[in-house]
Amino acid sequence: MKENVKLEALDIIREIEEKTNIYDIEIAGIKIWFFIRVYFYLEVVNLLRKEFHKKNPSKKNIFTPLLSSISLLKRGVVFLIRAVSGAVRFLKRKNSNIVFLIDPSDYRDKGKSLIERHIFFNSFYNYFKNDSSFIELLTPQSFSLRNLLISEDIIFIDFAFVVGFIRSLRYLFLPKKIGNWNEFLNDIREININGIQPEWIEKEILKLIKRNYKKVLLEINVADVVLKKIKPKLIIETRSYNGEVLAFNYIAKKSNIKVIEFQHGIITESHIGYTYFVPKKSVFLPLPDKVFLFGDIFVDFILKRGNAFKKENLIVSGFPKINKYRSIGESERENIKSEVRSKFGIGNEDFVVTFTTQPSFRNEFIFFLKSILPFIPQSVKFFVKLHPREISSRLTYETIAEKGKIFVITDEDADLYQVLFASDAHSTISSTVFLEAMALGIPNIIIGLPGAESVSEIDIQNCILFAKSPDDFVENLKLVMREDIRNNLVSCGKEKAAQFYATSKNPEKNILSILERTY
């Protein structure tokens, strides 16, 4: 087995996509593989990890069923309120040339309205607001009454799910024949894929089709409802490879609507969302027409293995937010540092490490943090900066918070980049923030748990410290507290960061000019 199981899983995907008719499998006229390939990839990754990685079982709570019922009821009520509000705003909406698809986890900035808080789109809000519709996608984070109360500019997609469900009733509950399935079975049984039995592949893909096809049909109906009403010429999004966004892209391609994606996170050689092994025959590809990327290295990663994207459609645009914070002078950085630290009662003489979390690795991270706490000096403080999708899990993290030692922070408490300025080091499993920390001169300690494989794919090993165990982390913390080592890591990190974040003086202007030419 390879050390990087994600790359091994990608090799398995390559074998399937190049040597079978997987792209032709359809149900209710929908080419279903696009909508389940990410899930299948994750199943393969889990299979490859199984022999050496087992998750810690979560503890049972006798109140869990009651709490789950209350949470479900609350979400249902908020969903209905948002659906009514979204319908009213939607019916009032005139045609727009541009549709922005908003993922609620990207509300990380400060601002009076939600769109002004969007970390990727706020730079263009004033320029496009009179000719655009802003659609907030349905995610667990979007069950938020707060968003409803402060977002006069945004249409909530909740209502479209109600309409889409009604439109879908005539076939959602009818058994569906899977087209071209027998041909796939014949293909898959003739090839040997890295020791994985064809029967396992058949079973997992069939399971994913049956589990997801009704959801996919519903999402496609939702996208159809929205796009037929607004009639845009261009869709702008921040991810393109699963969920409602893929359904929007599916309808957009069939309707000749252009699609542009803004990079939202780390892209490496093993990223399934940008690596397609398309056969030479004609295949319908519901992919973006152009992808705006932070830096040149991400172009190289996308082109290294897959063949679905052309180089001329991968645009290096930089990241306006990083450029803004890069330009901040030392005096202002110190002021931000003092302001954030004083908010939490931390002195400038303390050593602060910020951990950035990810929903996929919550249990592993909490277990790891508990393991290192007894060995951390009192002068070291921890910020635990929650991923936007983990706000509802704040109480889970606060169970390990120690007064005056560990501080759990959300975007409501402090901006991510301000928190980094207040930190002496940053640590994560594989959050993209480690690249942003490098660009801003903050040294990194990467926690080497399963999930950190993506970091090892990037040639930055001399610019980070890597902790494979709690003991490693404690030793690396001692190293990064030494000024000479910290300075070397900062210098190396800033130099490498030029590959990840283009240093254009005016990235907004460059992006705007391309957007104008596109629609």
Is 313:291 a contact under the CB 8 Å cutoff?
A: yes
Which residues are 155's β-sheet partners? Answer: 135
What is the total count of domains within the chain?
A: 2
- Nearest-CA neighbor of 345 among 388, 383, 394? 383
- Per-residue pLDDT at 153: 72
The DSSP secondary-structure symbol of 414 reads S
For the chain, helix (H) and strand (E) counts, in that order, are: 21, 16
- The reply to whether 108 and 248 lie within a common domain is yes
- Cα 371 to chain center, whole Å? 27
- Per-residue pLDDT at 317: 87
Which residues are 262's β-sheet partners? Answer: 292
Burial 285-324 (b: 16+ CB within 10 A, else e): ebbbbbbbbbbebbbebbeebbeebeeeebebbbbbbbbe
**DSSP H/E element including 156:** strand 154-156
Q: Would you state the structure tokens that stand for residue 227, as one six-digit string?
A: 């796009």
Is 108:119 a contact under the CB 8 Å cutoff?
A: yes
Q: Which amino acid is at 207?
A: K
The answer as to whether 249 is a domain residue is yes
Q: Would you state the structure tokens that stand for residue 15, as one six-digit string?
A: 């074998």
Give SS3 for 30. Answer: strand
End-to-end CA distance of the chain: 47
- The reply to whether 496 and 514 lie within a common domain is no
CA distances from 134 to 118, 131, 155, 226, 516 (A): 11, 10, 6, 11, 18
Is 217:49 a contact under the CB 8 Å cutoff?
A: no
Q: Which residues make Cβ contacts (< 8 Å) with residue 214, sequence separation at least 6?
A: 168, 172
- The reply to whether 421 and 516 lie within a common domain is no
- Nearest-CA neighbor of 59 among 491, 363, 380? 363
The answer as to whether 254 is a domain residue is yes
- Per-residue pLDDT at 141: 55
Q: Which residues make Cβ contacts (< 8 Å) with residue 68, sequence separation at least 6?
A: none
Q: Cα–Cα distance between 473 and 464 in angstroms, integer?
A: 12
pLDDT in tens, the chain (519 residues): 456 888 999 999 999 999 999 999 999 889 999 999 999 999 999 898 874 444 444 455 555 565 566 667 777 777 787 778 778 888 887 788 899 898 876 666 666 566 666 767 777 777 887 888 888 887 655 456 666 666 667 788 888 888 888 887 777 676 678 999 999 999 999 888 877 899 999 999 999 999 999 899 989 999 999 999 899 999 999 889 888 899 999 999 999 999 999 998 889 888 999 999 998 777 889 999 999 999 999 999 999 989 999 999 999 988 888 888 888 999 999 999 999 999 999 998 999 999 999 888 888 888 999 999 999 998 999 999 998 878 777 778 887 777 778 999 988 888 889 999 999 999 999 888 999 999 999 999 999 887 777 788 888 888 999 999 999 999 999 999 999 999 999 999 999 988 899 877 677 777 887 777 776
How big is the CA angle at 324 (ends 322 and 325), to the nearest 5 degrees?
70
- The reply to whether 334 and 479 lie within a common domain is yes
The answer as to whether 195 is a domain residue is no
The answer as to whether 27 is a domain residue is no
- Per-residue pLDDT at 1: 44
Q: Would you state the structure tokens that stand for residue 400, as one six-digit string?
A: 């390990």
- The reply to whether 80 and 132 lie within a common domain is yes
**DSSP H/E element including 465:** strand 465-467
Q: What's the CATH number where 417 sits?
A: 3.40.50.2000
- Per-residue pLDDT at 58: 47
Q: Which residues make Cβ contacts (< 8 Å) with residue 511, sequence separation at least 6?
A: 123, 124, 292, 317, 320
- Cα 118 to chain center, whole Å? 14
Q: Cα–Cα distance between 311 and 24 in angstroms, integer?
A: 26
- The reply to whether 139 and 270 lie within a common domain is yes
**362-372 and 470-480 helices, crossing angle to 10°:** 70
- The reply to whether 331 and 432 lie within a common domain is yes
- Per-residue pLDDT at 142: 47
- The reply to whether 305 and 330 lie within a common domain is no
- Nearest-CA neighbor of 189 among 20, 24, 47? 20
- The reply to whether 430 and 377 lie within a common domain is yes
The answer as to whether 251 is a domain residue is yes
The answer as to whether 1 is a domain residue is no
Give SS3 for 26. Answer: strand
- The reply to whether 417 and 508 lie within a common domain is no
The answer as to whether 15 is a domain residue is no
- The reply to whether 409 and 298 lie within a common domain is no
- Per-residue pLDDT at 107: 65
Burial 37-51 (b: 16+ CB within 10 A, else e): bbbbbebbbeebbee
Strands (E), 289-437: 290-293, 314-316, 351-356, 380-385, 406-409, 425-428
Residue whose structure tokens are 């019922």: 69
pTM of the shown model: 0.85
Print the domain residue range for 283.
Answer: 67-172+207-319+502-519
CA distances from 71 to 75, 105, 159, 229, 390 (A): 6, 20, 20, 33, 15
- The reply to whether 289 and 302 lie within a common domain is yes
- Nearest-CA neighbor of 185 among 21, 28, 14? 21
Q: Cα–Cα distance between 119 and 105 in angstroms, integer?
A: 10
The answer as to whether 179 is a domain residue is no
Q: Would you state the structure tokens that stand for residue 80, as one six-digit string?
A: 């209905």
The DSSP secondary-structure symbol of 311 reads G
